[in-house]
């Protein structure tokens, strides 16, 4: 048995056999519909299974990558070496009084809907954010004036050594589209949100309004990673891009959206290389015109296809 088969068989003893796939196509798990394959794709159903996978990977010196809903993410064409741990099956949401405890793989949109159904206010801003709870904490996701740090009380995390810990929200250094989760290599397992009792009709009205704004302004008809760039101080990224004459600019199958210049869409079966090249072109052009360096909000991971082909 070669090394790859040995790793595969060992993983199948850690989690259910059906929860381990070798050479899994990752573009099926990203909103951009981009990305190569994962050596091993694992979907744990319990925190203990996550723990065992992490400890096995650490013991055998195998790299591992965490994957939520794949919304704010670009995976390169060469895919990801090692183990991809997907949290899609850790998606339970529980409500106790005015608190909601949601597992990492639950969609933050669904958490906002659960809050509405229980007449709880505070998460309306999240009704259009497509990412997972884990991803929302990772980047302190926000929209329309609200953000995760406004309602987060605490989080259950796992360290890179595989130990489970509980931290208060104040210990996560939540700032604009950042936290200390990536720097500390924490794995988000669950989050506790503290909300307030509200009027269900008023909550629904806000969510309906935000949904309408999202659907009318964002290019939801094409695959995309969402808003590509952070808002630069004193400017709007979309307007800088539009004023630079880049709206509609296309490299291969990737295009700066005609509907909202802050979005880059996968219009015609783009490769990740084309998508990333367009991001770089937008950054360089805006800087040349306005001396403003647009900072990516989207995360880029994985291997270049050219590097894989050389091996």
242-to-30, 142, 247 alpha-carbon distances in Å: 26, 23, 5
The active-site residue, picked from 71, 132, 224, 227, is: 227
Helix (H/G/I), strand (E/B), else coil: 113:
helix
Q: Is 297 a catalytic residue?
A: yes
Q: What is the DSSP string of 47-62?
A: HHHHHHHHHHHHHTT-
Q: What is the DSSP string of 176-218?
A: TTB-SHHHHT-EEEEEEEE-EE--HHHHHHHHHHHHHHHHHHS
Neighbours of 234 (CB within 10 A): 6
Torsion of CA 250, 38, 21, 73, to 10 degrees: -50
The active-site residue, picked from 49, 124, 273, 297, is: 297
The active-site residue, picked from 12, 55, 81, 177, is: 177
Strands (DSSP E) contained in the chain are 20-25, 37-42, 64-67, 73-75, 80-86, 93-96, 99-103, 120-121, 142-143, 146-147, 152-158, 164-168, 187-194, 196-197, 224-227, 250-251, 254-256, 263-266, 299-301
Q: Measure the CA–CA gap between 71 and 103, rounded to whole angstroms.
A: 17
Neighbours of 59 (CB within 10 A): 9
270-296 CB burial, b ≥16 within 10 A, e <16: bbbbbbbebbeebbebbeeeeeeebeb
Catalytic residue set: 177, 227, 297
């Amino acid at each position: 048995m070669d090394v790859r088969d040995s790793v595969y068989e060992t993983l199948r003893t850690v989690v259910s056999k059906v929860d381990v796939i070798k050479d899994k196509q990752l573009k099926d798990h990203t909103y951009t519909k981009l990305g190569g394959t994962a050596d091993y794709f694992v979907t744990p159903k319990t925190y203990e299974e996550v723990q065992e996978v992490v400890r096995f990977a650490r013991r055998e010196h195998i790299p591992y990558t965490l994957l939520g809903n794949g919304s704010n993410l670009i995976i390169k064409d060469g895919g990801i070496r090692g183990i991809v741990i997907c949290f899609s099956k850790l998606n339970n949401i529980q409500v106790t009084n005015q608190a909601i405890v949601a597992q990492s793989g639950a969609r933050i949109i669904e958490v906002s809907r659960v809050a509405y159904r229980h007449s709880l206010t505070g998460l309306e801003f999240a009704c259009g954010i497509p990412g997972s709870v884990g991803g929302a904490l990772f980047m302190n996701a926000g929209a329309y004036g609200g953000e995760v740090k406004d309602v987060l009380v605490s989080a259950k995390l796992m360290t890179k050594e595989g130990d489970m810990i509980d931290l208060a929200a104040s210990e996560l250094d939540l700032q604009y589209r950042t936290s200390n989760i990536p720097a500390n290599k924490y794995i988000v397992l669950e989050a506790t949100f503290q909300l307030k009792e509200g009027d269900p009709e008023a909550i629904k009205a806000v969510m309906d309004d935000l949904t309408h704004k999202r659907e009318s302004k964002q290019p939801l008809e094409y695959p995309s990673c969402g808003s590509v760039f952070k808002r630069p101080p004193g400017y709007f990224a979309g307007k800088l891009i539009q004023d630079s004459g880049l709206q509609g600019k296309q490299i291969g199958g990737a295009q700066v959206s005609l509907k909202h210049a802050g979005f880059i869409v996968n219009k015609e079966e783009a490769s990740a290389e084309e998508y990333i090249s367009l991001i770089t072109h937008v950054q360089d052009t805006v800087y040349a015109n306005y001396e403003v360096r647009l900072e990516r909000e989207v995360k880029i991971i994985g291997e270049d296809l050219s590097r894989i082909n050389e091996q």
